[in-house]
């Protein structure tokens, strides 16, 4: 599609602004008191905050409204998308499939989200260890709807028909013989231009990376410069009829409504992005003497089964964010600065993997206008206890090893996707069903006429 631009490189530190809003990226800091153009700052994390620098993945998004402003998620039909690996008995025989049928649009319109079909897989999204293989067959574009995978990364391989993928980072056109990766937690919508079919590899526990080259040397296979990520593009669009966010969470689908497009990111910077790659750029290393080399010499991307730095000594600053950990938080006494009224001693909160959260309306507005001067945060509180689990290379889990003292809210943070019990949802009868309302009054501060300060 003419007009689409990309940035080059794999895992680079990118920065991008929609040209309609020059200067939208804050200078010198990630989360200023007031962002340019009246935007909201939101961090999207794909790794533990304290991962070693080479493994640390995060991007800062500067958006017209934060992703936390939405109605509650409710269960949605999963169709043929599943994580139940015990539906049938094991079959050790060789298997082969004829081409998968694409529905005829005159009989039924099917978009990307409803056209997902799981073929095979293993593992468990809750423990963040496993993979799934899916086919997508569709004939219609997604309208006022986007998909969000809280379980893992999607590696999409189109087989028939090009797809236009709109993401929070910008747009990518992906054609057959190209691949693209939509990493965990990134919202995207798919436009198609006729009968469309392709394959998806989903990984739960790790992100894709380039394989080491070893004796091949410094060049070869998939070169980093041939990977492309989109440039910033935003739409400031009110959707009165409702915009649907479809969330794949713990192997099931859930849907929520909001009244604005999620693709309202005016600028962003970071190294956690969607990206695409043209397979024709792959530099093949082959054999010219004898024998057949191991297939590892044809590896484009790899997702390692273990990864260091998961949820290790992590601190949670109160900005709008989504991340790859589960956060259970309680308050023993005092108040929590991000939600001074609603979060009460003796209560608790659970922010699940890639569920957006952050300050309530009062906290955001007050701190956006507050005089910038030194002040005590969380006055009257006592200690904060951060407890977490470490995972060793054998996949076994130790007991909580660290207790860190700081103010007196506490957090149990885990790389596991934690399931809520029936007691927690029903029996205890203390679930605050109006929690989402603390973000309902978040309003747009977007000012297209904003100009950078001359200071």
Structural domains of the chain ordered from first start = 71-264+273-369+381-391+404-436 (2.60.120.10)
Assess whether pLDDT exceeds 70 at residue 402. no
Q: Give the pLDDT of residue 85.
A: 84
**Rounded distance between C-alpha atoms, residue 64 and residue 451, angstroms:** 16
Least confident of 7-16, 144-153, 177-186, 315-324: 315-324
Question: Residues of 347-357 as b/e, b for ≥16 C-beta within 10 angstroms?
Answer: eebebbbbbbb
Assess whether pLDDT exceeds 80 at residue 350. no
Assess whether pLDDT exceeds 70 at residue 308. no
Residue 96 contacts by C-beta under 8 Å, 6 or more apart in sequence?
A: none
Give phi and psi for 224, each to the nearest 5: -55, -35
Q: Give the pLDDT of residue 54.
A: 86
Kindly report the average pLDDT of the chain as a whole number.
81
Least confident of 68-77, 356-365, 384-393: 384-393
Assess whether pLDDT exceeds 90 at residue 336. no
**Stated pTM of the model:** 0.79
Q: Give the pLDDT of residue 346.
A: 65
CB-CB contact of 112 with 104 (8 Å): no
CB-CB contact of 44 with 185 (8 Å): yes
Q: For 313-436, list the strands marked E by DSSP.
A: 320-322, 326-331, 348-351, 385-388, 409-414
Which of 117, 292, 351, 445 is flagged as catalytic? 292
Cβ neighbours, 10 Å, residue 325: 25
Assess whether pLDDT exceeds 90 at residue 327. no
**Region 298-317 average pLDDT:** 53
Under DSSP, the state recorded for 99 is P
Q: For 374-455, list the strands marked E by DSSP.
A: 385-388, 409-414
User: Which residues lie across from 158 on neighbouring strands?
Assistant: 198
Task: Quickly list H helices, 378-433.
Answer: 422
**Rounded distance between C-alpha atoms, residue 205 and residue 187, angstroms:** 19
Sign for the CA dihedral angle at 422, 424, 428, 429 comes to: negative
Taking alpha carbons only, the member of 224, 282, 248 closest to residue 355 is: 248
**Percent of the chain surpassing pLDDT 90:** 45
CB-CB contact of 179 with 154 (8 Å): no
List binding-site positions for Fe cation.
Answer: 321, 327, 357
List binding-site positions for homogentisate.
Answer: 336, 357
pLDDT 10s digits, 123-137: 899 888 888 888 899
List binding-site positions.
Answer: 321, 327, 336, 357
Cβ neighbours, 10 Å, residue 224: 11
Strand order in the sheet with 40-45: 14-17, 265-270, 58-63, 40-45, 320-322
Active site residue 292: yes
């Amino acid at each position: 599609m003419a007009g689409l631009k990309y940035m080059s490189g794999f895992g680079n530190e990118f920065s991008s602004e929609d040209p309609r809003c020059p200067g939208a990226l804050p200078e010198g800091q990630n989360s200023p008191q007031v962002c340019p153009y009246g935007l909201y700052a939101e961090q999207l994390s794909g790794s533990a905050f304290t991962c070693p620098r080479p493994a640390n993945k995060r991007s800062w998004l500067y958006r017209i409204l934060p992703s936390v402003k939405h109605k509650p998620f409710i269960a949605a039909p999963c169709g043929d998308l599943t994580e139940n690996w015990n539906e049938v008995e094991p079959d050790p025989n060789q298997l082969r499939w004829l081409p998968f049928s694409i529905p005829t649009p005159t009989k039924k319109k099917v978009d990307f989200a409803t056209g997902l079909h799981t073929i095979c897989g293993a593992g468990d999204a809750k423990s963040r260890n496993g993979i799934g293989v899916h086919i997508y067959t569709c004939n219609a574009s997604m309208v006022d709807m986007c998909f969000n995978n809280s379980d893992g990364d999607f590696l999409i391989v189109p087989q028939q028909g090009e797809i236009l993928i709109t993401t929070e980072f910008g747009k990518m056109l992906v054609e057959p013989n190209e691949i693209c990766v939509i990493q965990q937690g990134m919202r995207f919508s798919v436009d198609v231009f006729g009968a469309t079919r392709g394959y998806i590899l989903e990984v739960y526990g790790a992100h894709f990376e380039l394989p080491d080259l070893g004796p091949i040397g410094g060049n070869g296979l998939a070169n980093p410069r041939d990977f492309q990520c989109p440039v910033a593009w935003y739409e400031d669009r009110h959707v009165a009829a409702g915009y649907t966010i479809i969330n794949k969470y713990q192997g099931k689908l859930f849907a929520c409504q909001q009244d604005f497009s999620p693709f309202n990111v005016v600028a962003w910077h970071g190294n956690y992005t969607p990206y695409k790659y043209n397979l024709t750029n792959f530099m093949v290393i082959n054999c010219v003497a004898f024998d057949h080399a191991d297939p590892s010499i044809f590896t484009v991307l790899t997702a390692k089964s273990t990864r260091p730095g998961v949820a290790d000594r992590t601190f949670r600053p109160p900005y709008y964010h989504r991340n790859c950990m589960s956060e259970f938080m309680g308050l023993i006494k005092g108040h929590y600065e991000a939600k001074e009224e609603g979060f009460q001693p003796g209560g608790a909160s659970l922010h699940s993997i890639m569920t957006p959260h952050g300050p309530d309306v009062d906290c955001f507005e007050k701190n956006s206008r507050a005089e910038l001067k030194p002040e005590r945060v969380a006055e009257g509180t006592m200690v904060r206890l951060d407890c977490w689990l470490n995972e060793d290379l054998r996949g076994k889990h130790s007991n909580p090893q660290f207790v860190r003292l700081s103010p007196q809210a506490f957090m149990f943070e885990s790389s596991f996707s934690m399931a809520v019990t029936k007691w927690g949802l029903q029996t205890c009868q203390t679930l605050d069903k109006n929690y989402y309302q603390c973000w309902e009054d978040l309003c747009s501060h977007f000012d297209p006429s904003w100009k950078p300060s001359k200071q």
